[in-house]
Amino acid sequence: MKAPRPYALLAEITYKCPLHCPYCSNPVAASLCEASHRPRDGGYRNGELATEEWKRIIREAAALGVLQIGFSGGEPLDRRDLVELIREAREAKLYTNLITSGIGLGDDRVRALRDAGLDSIQLSFQSDESILADEIAGARAHEHKLNVAAKIRAAGIPLSLNFVIHRRNIDRLPQMIALTEALGAERVELANVQFYGWAFRNRAALLPSREQVDRARGIATAAKARLAAKIEIFYVLPDYYETRPKPCLHGWGQRYLTVNPIGDVLPCPTALSAIPDLRFENVRARDLNWIWGESESFNRFRGTEWMPEPCRSCPQKEIDFGGCRCQAALLAGRAASTDPVCELSPNRASVDALLRNLNSSGGQTRDWNYRLNPGTRPVIFGAY
Amino acid sequence: MRATPIPDLVRPSLAKGVRLQIDSATGNSVLLYPEGIVELNETAHEILSRCDGRTVGEIVCELAEVYEADPAALTADVSDTLSDLQRRKLIELK
């Protein structure tokens, strides 16, 4: 099918991050983060794209029709050229979002980001108070984040709080919403963890129980009604507990594209690790226009032609697009199958078995593996 | 059901973090906000491009002149559009 125009680019400018959240969607395999494409020279570091390469990507994305850019990672503040890249994006008339842990954001940098034209900041929080939040982050971060939120407010940059919700913090939803109010954010994402990357590896520790999920849904719905005039609450459902899949990306290669730190262009940020048999193109070899429109990776699941049954004859196929390709690959072993979360999928039983197993285990706490930076050794919490 | 008309003296403005822009791919107006894009129809574009400190009353009068339309009929359209955008937190009414 003919490629539609994309609307949004996720620019993952580095995989380096000062936090070690066990639900990180970055690839677990360090080999994926490091680069078979490592340049002999001219790169930024560890094979990361250079400033000029990112600027070219930004201009090519705008020419393709992209209207929004999210700077993410890893921790995007870890790159010294962030302000320069934001300025470039604003010159290309893109709406600029910074998705950040806030670590490394002082007064001067906040002002520099604002002056570069940054439109909005999404600040991650791991919970509402520091003991649990820092345990989840694997770093002492929470108190710092509270200060950063105040700096962002003072600079007048629109603020969203992003909470990833999982078994260990889901019971604190009311407190998270109260923190959002207290910090004066305009928007909050309460996103139940989606199982890719590190989160997939840590599923047993992160999956909430059915009882927790039911309670959280009620709390989110009530808060939405109560705060309707004040805060935008965006609640992301825990899809393993749903009966129909999420309309992932609004369809493969329809609206979104991601460029990772080493220049791979991905229909979805998790596709690189979840779908190993798909070859992704790199901006060092091809321009964005060709990759978006012509490449095998963007066309493989574009539209509805690729769909197997039960999707092919499903009246919902233009509504949920068969769900998530990465999830199909991770749970059913084949990206071109129906998302196993769907009750009509022949693989739904495997999701049910997982939920049954977890829900009968009495809610005990299980260990997780902290997310590591590429090329580093495990972090022992509390050691620094 | 139509919303209660917005008083003439109210001054609508874009909400914090919301940008009005021409989409160069289509030539149409869009509102951009965190993780979201709304494509505007002509009515919404005509109204929003005047939300720069003017009152609802002034906006209605101008549109009545441009479109040679009856201000009374336009009032309801303008109110509906603004109320809808306010509900979606894309504009503020002050």
In angstroms, what separates the C-alpha of B68 from chain A's closest C-alpha? Answer: 34
Instruction: For residue B21, give the H/E element and its range.
Output: strand B19-22
- Low-confidence spans in chain A with pLDDT less than 70: 1, 34-44, 362-364, 375-384
Q: Which member of A5, A68, A232 has the closest CB to residue B32?
A: A68
Condensed to tens digits (0 to 9), the pLDDT of residues A280-294 reads 999 999 999 999 999
- Residue A165: phi and psi, rounded to 5, are -100, 135
Q: Residue A367 has which token pair?
A: 């260990």
The per-residue pLDDT for A382 is 41
**Integer Cα distance of A330 and A200 in angstroms:** 9
Q: Residue B53 has which token pair?
A: 């400190």
- How far, rounded to the nearest angstrom, does the alpha carbon of residue A158 sit from its chain's CA centroid? 20
Condensed to tens digits (0 to 9), the pLDDT of residues B28-44 reads 999 999 989 999 998 89
The per-residue pLDDT for B8 is 87
The per-residue pLDDT for A42 is 52
Amino acid code (one letter) for A355: L
End-to-end CA distance of chain A: 53
* Residue B33 contacts A where some CB pair is shorter than 8 Å: yes
- Residue A161: phi and psi, rounded to 5, are -100, 135
Residue window 75-94, chain B: list those with CB within 8 Å of chain A.
Answer: 89
**Integer Cα distance of B28 and B41 in angstroms:** 8
* Residue B35 contacts A where some CB pair is shorter than 8 Å: yes
Are B18 and A54 a contacting pair, CB within 8 Å? Answer: no
The per-residue pLDDT for A43 is 59
Condensed to tens digits (0 to 9), the pLDDT of residues B48-61 reads 999 999 999 999 99
- Cβ contacts from A onto B, under 8 A: 42
Tell me the pTM: 0.94
**Integer Cα distance of A323 and A327 in angstroms:** 8
- pLDDT beyond 70 at B2: no
Tokens 């992704």 -> residue:
A280
Cβ distance of A232 and B37 shorter than 8 Å? no
DSSP class of residue B78 equals H
The per-residue pLDDT for A383 is 35
Name beta bridge partners: A9: A69, A257
The average confidence (pLDDT) of chain B is 91
Condensed to tens digits (0 to 9), the pLDDT of residues A129-168 reads 999 999 999 999 999 999 999 999 999 999 999 999 999 9
Are B89 and B83 a contacting pair, CB within 8 Å? Answer: no
In angstroms, what separates the C-alpha of B65 from chain A's closest C-alpha? Answer: 32
| CB contact set of A110 (below 8 Å; sequence gap of 6+) | A148, A151, A152, A154, A155, A157
Are A298 and A267 a contacting pair, CB within 8 Å? Answer: yes
How many CB atoms sit inside 10 A of residue A17's CB?
23
Cβ distance of B34 and A93 shorter than 8 Å? no
The per-residue pLDDT for A317 is 96
The residue among A344 and B73 whose pLDDT is bigger is A344
* Residue A232 contacts B where some CB pair is shorter than 8 Å: yes
| Confidence category of residue B94, pLDDT binned at 50, 70, 90 | confident
DSSP A183-230: HT-SEEEEEE---SHHHHHTHHHHPPPHHHHHHHHHHHHHHHHHTTTT
* Residue B28 contacts A where some CB pair is shorter than 8 Å: no
Are A358 and A206 a contacting pair, CB within 8 Å? Answer: no
B25 contacts on A by Cβ (under 8 Å): 5, 65
Q: Is B31 helix (H, G, I), strand (E, B) or coil?
A: strand
- pLDDT beyond 80 at B22: yes
DSSP class of residue A120 equals E
- How far, rounded to the nearest angstrom, does the alpha carbon of residue A383 sit from its chain's CA centroid? 28
Q: How many CA atoms lie within 13 A of A156 on its CB side?
A: 7
Cβ distance of A158 and B35 shorter than 8 Å? no
The residue among A69 and B8 whose pLDDT is bigger is A69
- Residue A181: phi and psi, rounded to 5, are -65, -45
Q: Which member of A68, A122, A232 has the closest CB to residue B37?
A: A68
Name the CA dihedral angle for B19, B25, B27, B29, rounded to a multiple of 10 degrees. Answer: -20
DSSP A69-111: EEEESS-GGGSTTHHHHHHHHHHTT-EEEEEE--TT--HHHHH
